[in-house]
Structure 1
């Protein structure tokens, strides 16, 4: 393989990698769902929310009640 061909091939590969890296820069959130019988779901949700919150991060808690799922 000639140097010219090798460089073209590597440049195409680099362009693909750069495109994937640029696409991966999207900011995404996380959704946590606490389910199950018994107590502790609200407490778990609150404890997962507050200690992990940073001043620059937005946090939102939307309660979903059993009647909303029907």
Structure 2
């Protein structure tokens, strides 16, 4: 394909309004193996957490209480 032919074809692609018009523009091009996925890939799964969250610590007072007085 020459640069001029590519330019003309690209302009026609941008001007196309339907899938049928686009298909007509690429009908004469050779197919490329693996260029189109048969079905979309499965969505990625989130990995499991590396570890459980740390337990909440209990704060206990030790020693004498506050002095009043």
What TM bracket, shorter-length normalisation? under 0.3
Task: Name whichever structure is richer in helix by fraction.
Answer: 1
Specify which structure has the bigger relative contact order, considering alpha-carbon pairs within 8 angstroms and separated by 6 or more residues.
Answer: 2
Instruction: Give the TM-score, by structure 1 length.
Output: 0.25
Say which one has the larger Rg: 2
Instruction: Give the TM-score, by structure 2 length.
Output: 0.25
